[in-house]
Amino acid sequence: MMKAVLLGSVSSKPTTENFTSCMLVQNEAKVYLFDACEGVQMRIMQSGISFMKIDSIFLSHFHADHILGIPGLIATMELSERQSPLNIFGPKGIKQRVSEILNLMNIGHSFKINYKDLSEGKVFENEKVEIYAKKFIHRILNYGFIMKEKDKVGEFNRKKAEKLLPPGPLYKQLQDGKTVTYNGKKIKPEMVMDYNKGRIGKKIGYIVDTYDKGYEKFIGNADILFHESCFMKEEEKRAKQTKHSVMEDVIKISKKAKVKKLVLFNYSNRYLEDLEKTKKKIKSKDIVFGNDLDCFELK
Ligand SMILES: [Zn+2]
């Protein structure tokens, strides 16, 4: 099961209720953070998920409202005696940027930080998930992300297997769908695999701060897409100037891309007061106006 939590939902500056935009995904024992708003560590604690489980952080771009939480988070990880390495992905120059901020604030860390400059395409892969990045038009270099959970053909039933053969490399072959021979006896994968427990991996998108259009392929068939919705159509001119999205365009693009659930967020403070009125105009239950700490389970 995957879980995505919107940690902050407004653009540029926080309010008394809302933090600026960022989101995390928990996939089994690992957590992946997309952007790090000011005070992100507090929001993560409130979500009930351990910030120590963060495996990798993906920063879309170097505007302050998306990265201010980094030094505080790393300082707290160090105080909490983190041992495991942390990956930080960001636009070109990420290592220098973050190192300078940490030096300036005298934040040391005894755990290793692996910095990686982003490029387009697959940027991360482990045994459970793959993450893809794509450049999105903004005032500065900016990336959007797709996280794809790997398909699971079924679940290996250890109890059943142990009755047939002892643990060893043959287990892996059975999990890979190969028939093996033990003590002259043929053992087929279906004898140890619960294929009814298989599942198609889920696809989650995270896109902020862009006036881009025509990226349906990148977000195609996403199970859930977190997409900024900074402005309304009436403020199209300002959206163009500041390179932000217009809600109506985002809805159109995600419909075309057959996104199953669209979570709008990153609202401009300028129209927060009108948000309730706007919500009433949108009838689809597959379009959600995200709020801080909204949690979405992907079963
Ligand atoms: Zn920005």
pLDDT for the residue numbered 233 = 85
| Residues, Cβ < 5 Å to ion ligand 1 | 63, 209
Q: How many angstroms separate the alpha carbon of residue 109 from the centre of ligand 1? A: 28
Do 216 and 184 share a structural domain?
no
Q: Indicate if 135 and 269 belong to the same structural domain.
A: yes
Residue-range definition of the domain harbouring residue 271: 2-152+199-298
62 Cα–ligand 1 center, Å: 7
Do 166 and 248 lie in one domain? The reply is: no
pLDDT at 280: 82
Tokens of 247: 């809600």
The tally of domains found in the chain comes to: 2
Q: What is the DSSP string of 216-274?
A: HHHHTT-SEEEEE--B-GGGHHHHHHHT--BHHHHHHHHHHTT-S-EEEE-B-GGGTTT
Same domain, 206 and 256: yes
Active site residues: 65
Cα 138 to ligand 1 centre (Å):
7
Residue 137 to residue 141: CA distance in whole angstroms: 7
**How many angstroms separate the alpha carbon of residue 18 from the centre of ligand 1?**
17
Q: How far is the CA of 31 from the centre of ligand 1 (A)?
A: 24
| pLDDT of 199 | 86
Q: Which range has the top average pLDDT, 73-77, 170-174, 199-203?
A: 73-77
Residues 221 and 251 in one domain: yes
* Within-domain flag for 33: yes
Distance 150 CA to ligand 1 centre (A): 30
Same domain? 42 vs 172: no
Contact in structure between 20 and 268 (CB atoms under 8 Å)? no
Give yes or no for residue 1 having a pLDDT over 90. Answer: no
pLDDT in tens, 112-151: 999 999 999 999 999 999 999 999 999 999 999 999 999 9
Does the pLDDT at position 274 exceed 80?
no
- Same structural domain for residues 148 and 159? no
pLDDT at 176 over 90: no
